[in-house]
Amino acid sequence: MTLTLDSLRISRGGQPMVALDTTIAAGEVLTIMGPSGCGKSTALAALAGALPPGFKMSGRIYLNGRDMTDLPTHARRMGLLFQDDVLFPHLSVAGNLGFGLPRGVPSRDRQIAQALDAAGLDGMGARDPATLSGGQKARVALMRTLLSAPQALLLDEPFSKLDANLRDQIRDFTFAQARALPVILVTHDLEDARAAGGRIISVTGEPLH
Amino acid sequence: MRFLTCVAACALGGALPAVAQTPNPADWPAVLEQARGQTVYWHAWGGDPRINAFIAQVGEVLSERHDVTLEHVRLADTADAVTRVVSERAAGRDTGGAVDAIWINGANFASMKDQGLLFGPFAYDLPNWPLVDTDANPAVEIDFTLPVEGYGSPWAMFQMVFEYDSRAVPEPPRSLDALRAWIAENPGRFTYPQPPDFLGTSFLKQALYGVLDDPSVLLGPTDAVDYDTVTAPLWAFLDEITPNLWRSGRAYPANEPALGQLLADAEVDIGFSFNPGRASAAIADGELPDTIRTMVFDDGTLANSSYLSIPYNAANKAGALVLANLILDPQIQALAQDPAVLGFQTVLGMDRLAPEDRARFGALELGIATLAPDAMGTGLLEPHPSWMTRVAEDWTARYGTAE
Amino acid sequence: MIRAAPGLVVALMALPVAAGLAGAVLPAFGYFPALGGAAFSLDPWRELLAWPGLGAAVRLSLFTGIGATVLSLAITLLIVAAWQGTRSFRVVTSLLAPLLSLPHAAAAFGLAFLIAPSGWVARALSPWATGWDRPPDLLIVHDQAGLALIAGLVMKEVPFLMLMTLAALGQTDSARRMAVARSLGYGRVIGWTKTVLPAIYTQLRLPVFAVLAFSMSVVDVALILGPTRPPTLAVQVLDWMTAPDLSLRFTASAGAVLQLLLVLGALAAWVLAERLIAARGRIWASQGARAPGWDRPLRALAALPTLAIGLGVGLGLAGLALWSVAGLWRFPDLLPQNFGLRVWTDQSQQLWRLGGTTATLAGLSAMIALALTIAALQAGATRAVGIIYLPLLVPQIAFLPGLSALGLWLGLDGTLGAVLLVHLVFVLPYVMLSLSDPWKAWDSRAGLVAATLGAAPWRVLLAVRLPMLTRALCIAFAVGFATSVAQYLPTLLIGAGRVGTVTTEAVALAASGNRRLIGVWAVVQMTLPLAVFALALALPALLARRRRGLRVT
């Protein structure tokens, strides 16, 4: 699996912001670093198919060779994680996990149970997500995304709200779970970037560090 | 605008059920035939549960005898129904109108008749018309000095009576001057509904009868006389009593029921009404204490009639005609006069009735507070409608706006 | 389908609004062919200016309208600022449903009976404390300054604004903002004012505008509690509009247009005041005054209007309910001498029949309005959708004769469908008003996440957005339901008297001043929306018991 950004350019009011030209292989983590407001989150949103109004994009996005550029978000098969877990508050933990699972998948319950198990949340499927700890929530959010069988993973500062010891743990968990996918991590934290272990670039594509 | 009206008229033509042809009241069997199965929408004031119950009873008889359904459209104000007919004409709906019958008199009647909004003449063709006592009650053919000319069928007579609490007022004032003196001695215990309310303005007209040397000018329009000079004594009278009215004249009750409530709450000691049987019925229902009595001025009080009229565009004219005839039926008239039901005065002449019908009226008991017919004194003719309008306007300018 | 929704909403509303406005503006300039006004002229305005009470009526409308709005808003904000998050606050919010569902007219009657010289308060104190063995001659109700009217309005508008504030709070991180402010040493009230208020006021603006427009042009409450010499402008316009002398229609229309201009002027002044206060407020907020010592006195201060409103409505309603079963009840007896169900049994048949019609109309119109609102919001409400707020800002009395003419043109008047449509004109804005802010404040990342999980837009709507907005949806439905139940003039004029509801019946009977009947119908009139409101608050609360993330803190 590969994610290719072909001359991806994003500008706002004629002002160029993002310029990316790269291919990310399965199991590779590309880290985009920069201060807040530099456009790194906008770049992720564009990849997910949710470019905010006021921005302009050119270039193409290929996933496994398929052109995703004009597809709506739900058809792109790109998983997205925010710094907040954004769990659906009206659904149980299992309900959240099931939401991501494509329709018609056999043995849904078993898959959900396995995901819970993998996240160390065995037997907590019926819980209200609001009652989970921060680390638990983050793991549920990740497992939910993975259950939707994405072809690529987009991470928008997913660790920045976690406290230090939890952070390492969740980071390792995330990268371990996502090892078969091309991953893009957006962060302003150098430690996250280093832990990702891949290339580190700016929004305009220059290699950093 | 005209384009829209045209479009609407075309749309109406398609949307409405076939409109029955206009009935001819002179051909009564045909009217009855045409009315069968119709639903008559009678727009009548809905503020009194007793009247509502009476109308419901009339509806039952109407349906039994003539297969006509009666729907009582309960109005907060008769003018709402007038408004309705006016808007229908504005929209070009000259047939199939929503209002089939209106309980009406006074300025509303004058205005509709003036504008040609009424169907008729029909009253003289009603089979029960010969029973109406036109000799003793000329007022059944003249509404506020305006000849009715068959555009409304009279169905009840009203006369202003004063209602007083005999506990607080053992000797009630029986003339305008006596009332003036009583108000001065009992500040805060008398008031009248705020003009242009019908009853409130009626009190002003009653006062005009009391202060004028020659009340006959009231029967002509206001512009036929020197209005300012004629009405000067009225304003002098009001200037005198206002400081001693309820709330010192800084507020007035809205209408007849509101005035009745003040009497029930003992806020005032003397009220008045156009229905001589109201007090007895209210006592029977526990809404007034049983110490309330009624009286009239020695020189007489205003009297008028209520009419049933049919708008020119009514959808169910035949049914409305059958209804108009039914409320002149001796059985229904006796029901209305029963103090336990309404206590309205009948418009029928006793000498014109069959003996068994006469007996229905003879069997009625007067209520505890109701005056016997021979104690009702003189019924004074309602002034020309222009007095109502003009006096109410002037009152508003003088008392109706603070300072 | 969804893409057509905003257009549908605009079309559905634009026609009635246009007809309603034309019906007010054209006759105001002398054009009303059916009444002989074939040419444009300024005579209606001359007539209007010649009315001696004009200045006083305009002053009254402005004073009572603005006074009621300022007071209602101040009381609402004070209560929320001083009490949010406490147990007392939860008690207060649980009282919202009965307060909201009480029709304005019924609340006003209840208040009048409480405070009138022959009312319950005077009875409770007489004759032992006051020496009154009959009602004193005091001008309390209908007082010339309009204070009783303001009180009656505040009683009903505070619950409405409170509900709107709660809805806004549910979409704001108010708890976190407060925690930050408190940790910086700010008092509860000052901290709330500086951190939470700016966030929720933007969501409160439209409701506040609606309250202002409503308070300035209300008719029923003004009739029951307001001054009479002269009355407020809106009441006077109603007088002219329903006068038998049809030439007064022109004056009435001019008065209606003046009423519209007054409302617009007051709104403009309000917006200006907002700017000034916001500018001053920003300076004040950043100056760092913390004033924790004010909390206790402000809390006590907030308790006063809360108690007054609760007792005013509660006792007023109890009084009306008591009147509905009262026999003879003379002053200064605290209770009736005897009781009876006569009025109830007399009315029972009517009650069932009209109750059914009312519930049908209210349920359907609220449901349709909710569906249209969701569709319009989902499609991305355009600026044009703002037109539906016009019915809230144009006084009903100016708006409705025009609408009724439209109904006639289309041959729709007098049918249940037409009444449903015209209810929709008034219900839709309130539903939109209740829903649009929570809708916009919804965390759109949830939608984005759902989409990246493979959910198509309709599934995002049905499975994520709507369930997350359950509380706001329920409240919007209840608001729509109560709005429909309260409609009097639209039902009367478009229903042509053939479609009756508990409200047309109640107002027709209200003219009788018969407290027993008013009591019966007021109780019935509030029961329907009360039940719906109770459900609207209970259902999301029940869900929130299992899902803490949906809870309002």
Model confidence over A153-169: pLDDT tens digits?
999 988 887 887 788 88
Regarding chains B and A, contact by 3 or more CB pairs under 8 A is answered as no
Kindly give, in sequence order, each residue whose CB lies less than 8 Å from that of residue A75, ignoring residues fewer than 6 positions away.
C454
Shortest Cα–Cα distance, B387 to chain C (Å):
13
Give the pLDDT confidence score for residue C97 in this predicted structure.
66
Burial of C362 (0-12, 13-18, 19+ CB in 10 A): buried
How many Cβ pairs closer than 8 A exist between chain B and C?
A: 194
Q: Which one of A99, A112, A157 makes the best mutation probe of the C interface by having the most chain C beta carbons within 10 Å?
A: A99
Distance from CA of B139 to the nearest CA of C (A): 21
| A113 and A197, same domain (yes or no) | no
Alpha carbon of C397 to those of B399, C207, C293, C437: distances in Å?
25, 20, 48, 29
Structure-token pair, residue B88 = 């229908």
> Where a domain ends, among A148, A165, A197?
A148
- pTM of the entire structure? 0.76
Please check whether residues A133 and A32 belong to one and the same domain. Answer: no
Domain ranges of chain C: 1-31+340-553, 45-321
Quick check: A102 contacting C, CB < 8 Å?
yes
Q: Is C516 helix (H, G, I), strand (E, B) or coil?
A: helix
| Yes or no, beta carbons of C467 and A49 under 8 Å apart | no
| Closest CA in chain B for residue C53 | B401
Counting every residue written for chain B, the total comes to 403
Whether residue A69 sits in one domain with residue A16: yes
pLDDT at B11: 35
Q: Distance between CA C110 and CA C257 in Å, rounded?
A: 32
Cβ neighbours of C324 (radius 10 Å):
22
From chain C, the residues in CB contact with B11 under 8 A are 409-411
Q: Do A99 and C467 touch (CB under 8 A)?
A: no
**Range of A172's domain?**
1-77+150-209
pLDDT given for residue B18 in this prediction: 38
Nearest to B8 among C243, C410, C497 (CB): C410
pLDDT bucket at C510, cuts 50 / 70 / 90: low
Q: Are C165 and C204 within 8 A, CB to CB?
A: yes
> CA dist C117 to B387, C126, C220, Å?
35, 11, 21
Q: Which of B242, B393, B401 to mutate to test the interface with C (most CBs of C within 10 A)?
A: B401
* Nearest residue in A to C471, CA atom: A90
Same structural domain, A73 and A43: yes
Question: Choosing among A90, A137, A144, which should be mutated to test the C contact, i.e. which has the most C CBs within 10 A?
Answer: A90
Q: Is the pLDDT of residue C401 over 70?
A: no
Determine the residue of chain A that is closest to C458 in CA distance. A74
A59 conformational bin, left if phi > 0, alpha if psi -120 to 50, beta if neither: left
Which residue from C149, C138, C142, C139 is spatially nearest to C63, judged by alpha carbons? Answer: C149
**Inter-chain CB proximity C246 and B86 less than 8 Å:** yes
Same domain flag for A64 and A158: yes
What residue in B sits closest to C137 (Cα-Cα)? B247
Same domain (yes/no): A4, A57: yes
- Rank B283-287, C27-31, C271-275, C532-536 by mean pLDDT and report only the highest: C271-275
Torsion, CA A157, CA A162, CA A168, CA A172, rounded to 10: -60
Question: Cβ atoms within 10 A of the Cβ of C316, count?
Answer: 26
CATH of C45-321, one of 3.30.70.1050, 3.10.20.30, 1.20.140.10, 1.10.3720.10: 1.10.3720.10
Nearest to A20 by CA among A50, A53, A62: A62
Of C449, C452, C547, which is closest to A90 when you measure between CB atoms? C547
Give the pLDDT of residue C539. Answer: 84
Strands A152-156 and A183-187: parallel
Domain C1-31+340-553 is found in CATH 3.40.800.20: no
Which tokens sit at C6?
A: 């905003």
How many CB atoms lie under 10 A from the CB of residue B369? Answer: 27
Q: Are B252 and C410 inside 8 Å of each other by CB?
A: no
**Residue C241: its pLDDT value, please?**
76
Phi-psi region of B400 (alpha: psi -120 to 50; beta: other; left: phi over 0): alpha
Instruction: Give the residues across from B311 on adjacent strands.
Output: B118
Distance from CA of A189 to the nearest CA of C (A): 22
Mean pLDDT, chain B, whole residue set: 88
In this predicted structure, the answer to whether residue C101 has a pLDDT above a threshold of 80 is no
Rounded CA gap, C439 and C466, in Å? 9
Average pLDDT, stretch C485-489? 83
All domains in chain B, ordered by first residue: 26-156+305-366 (3.40.190.10), 161-303+379-400 (3.40.190.10)
CA distance B266 to chain C (A): 6
Q: Which residues on B lie below 8 Å from C252 (Cβ)? A: none
Classify strands A29-33 and A200-201 as parallel, antiparallel or unpaired.
parallel
Same domain, A22 and A65: yes
User: Greater confidence, C466 or B3?
Assistant: C466
Q: Are strands B101-104 and B39-45 parallel, antiparallel or unpaired?
A: parallel
Looking at chain C, which subunits does it touch, using at least 3 CB pairs closer than 8 Å as the criterion? Answer: A, B
Report CB contact under 8 Å: C401, B87: yes
A and C: number of Cβ contacts within 8 A: 82
- Closest approach of A7 to chain C, Cα-based (Å): 23
Mean local confidence (pLDDT), B253-275: 90
Please determine, for residue B167, whether its predicted confidence score (pLDDT) is greater than 80: yes
Q: CA of B71, closest CA in chain C: separation in Å?
A: 8
Q: Which of B267, B288, B403 is most worth mutating to test chain C (most C CB atoms within 10 A of its CB)?
A: B267
Ranges of H-type helices in A101-133: 108-118
Q: How does residue B3 score in pLDDT terms, banded at 50, 70 and 90? A: very low
Q: What is the pLDDT of residue B170?
A: 94
CB B375 within 8 A of CB B308: no
CB contact under 8 A, B49 and C346: yes
Return the residue of C nearest to B285 by Cα. Answer: C327
pLDDT value of position A30 = 93
Chain C CB within 8 Å of residue A52 CB: no
pLDDT at C383: 60
Q: For residues C34 and C45, what is the distance between their CA atoms, to the nearest angstrom?
A: 19
C109 vs B118: which has the higher pLDDT: B118
Beta bridge partners of B104: B307
Token pair belonging to C391: 């019915």
Distance of CA B63 to the CA centre of its chain: 25
Cβ-based contacts of A99 with chain C (< 8 Å): 450, 453, 455, 463-464
Cβ–Cβ below 8 Å for A82 and C547: no
Residues of chain A in contact with residue C550, where contact means CB-CB under 8 angstroms, are 89-90
Q: What is the pLDDT of residue C244?
A: 65
Residue C111 pLDDT > 80: yes
Q: Are residues A22 and A70 in the same domain?
A: yes
Cα(C290)–Cα(C217) distance, integer angstroms: 40
- What is the C-alpha separation between C405 and C38, in angstroms, rounded? 17
For residue B321, what are the β-bridge partners?
none
- Tell whether A83 lies on the interface with C, counting CB pairs under 8 A: no
Which of C171, C452, C459, C469 would best serve as a mutation to test chain A binding (most A beta carbons within 10 A)?
C452
- Between the alpha carbon of residue C369 and those of residues B44, C93, C399, C430, C532, the distances in Å are 34, 25, 20, 9, 16
pLDDT digits 0-9 by tens, A50-96: 888 889 999 999 999 899 999 999 999 899 998 888 899 889 999 99
B232, pLDDT greater than 60: yes
Q: Is A144 on the interface with C (CB under 8 A)?
A: yes
Strands ordered across the beta sheet of A78-81: A78-81, A152-156, A183-187, A29-33, A200-201
Q: Which residues of C fall within a CB distance of 8 Å from A148?
A: 452-454
**Residue C63's pLDDT is what?**
96
Lowest-confidence segment of B16-20, B92-96, B151-155, C531-535 by average pLDDT: B16-20
A116 contact C CB<8A: no
Distance from CA of C381 to the nearest CA of A (A): 15
Yes or no, beta carbons of C446 and A88 under 8 Å apart: yes
Question: Residues A116, A124: contact at Cβ < 8 Å?
Answer: yes
Same domain, A159 and A64: yes
The amino acid present at B142, given as its one-letter code, is I
CA distance A209 to chain C (A): 31
Provide the chain A residues 2-41 that lie in CB contact (below 8 A) with chain C. Answer: none
**What pLDDT sits at residue A35?**
84
Quick check: helix, strand or coil at residue A10?
A: strand
The model's pLDDT over B14-66, given as tens digits with 9 standing for 90+, comes to 333 334 568 999 999 999 999 999 999 999 987 777 888 899 999 999 999 99
What is the rounded average pLDDT for all residues in chain C? 84
| Contact residues for C298 (Cβ-Cβ < 8 A; gap 6+) | C78, C81, C82, C189
pLDDT of residue C385: 64
Return the minimum-mean-pLDDT range out of A125-129, B73-77, B298-302, B393-397. B73-77
Q: Please report the pLDDT score of residue B28 as a whole number.
A: 95
When CB atoms are compared, the residue of C453, C543, C549 closest to A148 is C453
Contacts of B103 in chain C (CB under 8 A): none
Residue C523 near residue C343, CB atoms below 8 Å? no
Q: Do the chains contact at C340 and B286, CB–CB below 8 Å?
A: yes
- pLDDT tier at A185, thresholds 50, 70, 90: very high
Q: Other CB atoms closer than 10 Å to residue C201's CB: what's the count?
A: 18
CA distance C335 to C323: 9
Q: Are residues A72 and A102 in the same domain?
A: no
Q: Which of C96, C111, C122 is nearest to C518 (CA)?
A: C111
pLDDT confidence of residue B14: 34
Q: What is the CATH number of the domain that holds A14?
A: 3.40.50.300
Task: Select from B109, B265, B285, B398 the residue whose CB has the most chain C CBs within 10 Å, as the one to mutate to test that interface.
Answer: B265
Distance CA B224, CA B220 (A): 7
Contacts of B336 by beta carbon, 8 Å cutoff, 6+ apart: B54, B155, B156, B327, B342, B344, B346
List the structure tokens of C468: 């997350």
Set of chain C residues whose Cβ sits within 8 Å of the Cβ of A51: none
pLDDT of residue B1 exceeding 60, the answer is no
> According to DSSP H, which parts of chain A are helical?
40-48, 93-100, 108-118, 134-147, 164-177, 190-196
Apex CA C244: angle with CA C240 and CA C247, to 5°? 65
For C57-88, the pLDDT digits (tens) are 999 999 999 999 999 999 999 999 888 878 88
Collect all residues of chain A within an 8 Å Cβ-Cβ radius of residue C460. Answer: 74
Q: Does the distance separating the beta carbons of A74 and C456 come in below 8 Å? A: yes
Weakest mean pLDDT among B116-125, B384-393, C327-336, C353-362? C327-336
Domain C-terminal end among A131, A148, A165: A148
Chain C residues with CB inside 8 Å of B5's CB?
409
Identify the contact set of chain C against chain A, taking CB-CB distances under 8 A. Answer: 443, 445-446, 448-457, 459-460, 463-464, 467-468, 470, 543, 546-550
B116-149 tens-digit pLDDT: 999 989 999 999 999 998 887 777 888 888 899 9
- pLDDT at residue B261 is higher than 50: yes
Average pLDDT over every residue of C188-198: 85
Question: Do residues A136 and A167 both lie within one domain?
Answer: no
Q: What is the pLDDT of residue B2?
A: 34
Counting the structural domains of chain A, the total is 2
pLDDT of residue B15: 36
